[in-house]
Amino acid sequence: MLPPTFTTARARQAGLPSRDLATLVSEGAAIELSRGVYRQSDAPETAHLDLLAVHTRASHAVVCGESALALHELIDDIPAAVHIAVPRGTRRPAISYPPTVVAQYAAKTFDLNIEQYEAAPGEFVPVYDAARSVVDAMRHRNRIGHTLALAALGRYLRTSGPDGVGDLQRIARELHALSVIRPAVEAVLA
């Protein structure tokens, strides 16, 4: 039995030869999401097929950057690519479709604040939590844009409740980014 989203290798393990997989695709019983990644046509609908495709191809990666900010509804933009992070020193996945941006994060802080996001019923992808995503946006504001980073910070502070600032400071301390976060938070709250 195949899961809703699966690879060619997983189909072979389940006893489905390549020609039968090709027949499933040509008959519309499965769709190809990315090279070697398929989804059963009768699987539950989701708006996150791109996340499932990238996660299936790069299961060691974590959704980050603009993609994480959008999932946490901290920005209104719809990212043009799936943004993922892998630990520095590991192989960078080469995924041309869906468009993917790969960042490398320090191995010692890579696992900080990862949570599981349900991209489809019963299918989860790892994503940095809202606080980590905001700190990363502020750290990389020159790359993603000051306006986008500050908008995400402002929305986070409005929606995170009384623990929001403390969570940001705790993560910023771990990532050596307090000098960036502290003045930005003060400016937004002023």
Say what the pLDDT of residue 189 is.
77
pLDDT of residue 18: 86
CA distances from 53 to 37, 70, 112, 126, 179 (A): 6, 17, 23, 13, 37
Q: What is the pTM of this model?
A: 0.89
Q: Phi, psi at residue 72, to the nearest 5°?
A: -85, 5
* pLDDT of residue 152 exceeding 90: yes
Q: Which pLDDT does position 190 carry in this prediction?
A: 72
Q: Is the pLDDT score of 140 beyond 80?
A: yes
Distance separating alpha carbons of residues 161 and 167, to the nearest angstrom: 10
Would you say 52 and 120 are in contact if contact means Cβ atoms under 8 Å apart?
yes
pLDDT for the residue 42:
93
Q: Tell me how many helices (H) and strands (E) the chain has.
A: 9, 8
How deeply is 87 buried, as exposed, middle or buried, from its count of CB atoms within 10 A (0-12, 13-18, 19+)? middle
